[in-house]
Amino acid sequence: MEELLEDLIIYVGEDYTPEQEAFLRLLINDAIEEVCGVMYPFGFNNEKKAKESALKRYKGKIRKIAQYYYDKQGVEGVTSYSGNGESRSYSGAGTPSEYFSGIVPVAKIV
């Protein structure tokens, strides 16, 4: 997780302040949970193991999702907006499904 935090700080660049660290960690944790939700669509028994597995296998995807969350600050839940000569649209209010492509779901056969 520390490596992801460092990557996100680099991504934020000159706008980063130490007060943002807790917020960036929250974004990373939210991204990990979303990836775990795709990896384990039927749930998981050990949350810590699931998160470790997600970090090991999909660190790049987790970083991109956290970056997406960071970029979408202030417009959470918005699908499009215009103002001050600027117009933006998003594929949906949540994380775009493209961010999850390549994640292989894990299920247990009973």
CA angle in degrees (0–180, nearest 5) for 43-49-53: 90
What pLDDT, on the 0 to 100 scale, is given for residue 91? Answer: 66
Does residue 108 register a pLDDT over 80?
Answer: no
For 64-95, the pLDDT digits (tens) are 999 999 988 866 666 677 777 877 776 666 78
For 13-65, the pLDDT digits (tens) are 998 999 999 999 999 999 999 999 999 988 888 889 999 999 999 999 999 99
Contact yes or no for 27/70 (Cβ under 8 A): yes
Cα separation, 92 vs 76, whole angstroms? 10
Report, as an integer, the average pLDDT of 92-107. 86
Q: What are the structure tokens assigned to 72, written together?
A: 């979408």
Bigger pLDDT: 11 or 110?
11
What pLDDT, on the 0 to 100 scale, is given for residue 41? Answer: 87
